[in-house]
Structure 1
């Protein structure tokens, strides 16, 4: 039973190390790309820990013997490894949306929240990735508050050039 408990504890420790230092450990030992998929550190750790803890439980409760405990431990370890592989694969495939850029604002209609003088800056309310954001706005002509404007170009990450919409 001590061997099984030791395997379980080693598996949990390996899982913690792989989550914290996984890529560093693979790089230090020259294993980049070798431990991917079914041979990744989290999958091996899940297998070893389930083998150990299940074996200890079967020996402690069932009294079936070391052979049966090992067989049942291998079966549950395989299931745990497969679930770990599926979960980690799903997490690695998860893609985020493209980061919005300044060019995404060009051509959009926006409203002025702070009047824009002929020479100087005002503010427009824009939506970036669905979030409202106030940007400094410059225009060739004065624009009153509440006027709808087109974004002509982005001057910087926090300012745009606009022109009033003529209706």
Structure 2
């Protein structure tokens, strides 16, 4: 059972190594195995092989060969799952940076009064964060008034109109 536990612990150490030196093996092999021979996948395989082999050897009457076979099967499953999770994390492309043009149609509040034909300031939410923008409006807007964004003439200026309720 000792060698199996040693393999399991070696897999955990290899996982810590892969976190510290991310991409080392992938860079050395230059995409030869398309991620199947990455450090996290090898670590998942080795640790699952060792710990499953130790469990099978310690809880059943089967010998080391059967424990190694069960461990290799479980290790292949863990390695495959690790590969799929790493690929899913690597291709996460849903987080486009928020743009000022996305403010059109959003609501906000006037924080510095906007005079007719002049500039004031409004507080809007961009990407979930409150951001203060310079604002222009056709008519005067008082501090605290709720406004809708009607356009974004520049990256720091928005045109707004009062919300009519």
Tell me if TM exceeds 0.5. yes
2:113 match? 115
* TM-score of the aligned structures, taking structure 2 as reference length: 0.75
1:85 match? 83
Structure 1 residue 136, shift from structure 2 partner: 2.3
Structure 1 residue 85, shift from structure 2 partner: 1.7
Residues 66-124 of structure 1: CA distance to partner in whole angstroms, max 9, x if unpaired? Answer: 1111111111111111221222222223322321223434x547566131246864112
1:3 match? 3
Q: In 2 relative to 1, CA 163–86 (structure 1 residues): closer, same or farther, beyond 3 Å?
A: closer
1:144 match? 141
Indicate the RMSD between aligned Cα atoms, in angstroms. Answer: 3.1
Q: SS of the residue aligned with 1:135? A: strand
* TM-score of the aligned structures, taking structure 1 as reference length: 0.74
Q: How many equivalent pairs are there? A: 159
Residues 20-42 of structure 1: CA distance to partner in whole angstroms, max 9, x if unpaired? Answer: 32224544xx2342353322211
Show structure 2 runs of 5+ residues with no match. Answer: none
Greater CA drift, 88-97 or 68-77: 88-97
Show structure 1 runs of 5+ residues with no match. Answer: none
Distance 2:11 2:106 in 1: 57
1:135 aligns with 2:133: yes
User: Are 2:108 and 2:125, in contact at CA under 8 Å, matched by a contact in 1?
Assistant: no
1:53 match? 51
User: Are 1:109 and 1:151, in contact at CA under 8 Å, matched by a contact in 2?
Assistant: no
